Structure 1
Amino acid sequence: MAQTAAPAAVASPAITPISLKAIAPWAVFFGILMLVLLYFVGAEQGATAVISGEGVHEWVHDGRHLLGFPCH
């Protein structure tokens, strides 16, 4: 009987960690983006309205109710 050689183990590529210096700008960008989104969904068309009219209110109306913000 012929012996068959066991297949060689496949080396997995090393996982290199991402440095905090590389992640920080993206974290700040998405943090500011989320704050702006939260403002438009939660506070726009109130006493601190940046954009006049009812356009923004109508676009985010259902989102306000979904997130629990009262709007009327």
Structure 2
Amino acid sequence: MAQTIASPATGATPATLPLKALAPWALFVGVLALVLLYFIGAEQGATSVFSGTNVHEWVHDGRHLLGFPCH
């Protein structure tokens, strides 16, 4: 039984993604990143959203890993 091998397509161009389709997702990811950065880096003290130290304890090791001082 003979096998045929397909040759690679020549002249293939990558698909383009319009900026209008990408912009809402980029904005969402940017806002999410800022919220996460706030909770990891600044959620304690005078700017805290939640009272107590629960959020601080949940992200404590991440704070040190990213270089944020916390104590």
TM-score after normalising by structure 1: 0.81
Structure with the greater relative contact order (CA < 8 A, sep ≥ 6): 1 or 2?
A: 2
Provide the identity percentage: 68
Q: Is 1:11 matched up with 2:9?
A: yes
Give the Cα separation in 2 of the matches to 1:46 and 1:29. 27
**1:29-68 matched pairs, under 5 angstroms:** 29-68=28-67
Distance 1:11 1:57, change over 3 A: same
Aligned residues: 67
Look up the equivalent residue of 2:9 and give its one-letter code. Answer: A
Give the Cα separation in 1 of the matches to 2:7 and 2:63. 55
Unaligned segments of structure 1, at least 5 residues: 1-6
Moved over 3 A (4+): 7-14
Name the Cα RMSD after superposition: 2.1
Unaligned segments of structure 2, at least 5 residues: none
How far has the Cα of 1:35 moved from its partner? Answer: 0.1
Give the Cα separation in 1 of the matches to 2:28 and 2:17. 17
Structure having the higher Rg: 1
Per the alignment, residue 20 of structure 1 pairs with 19
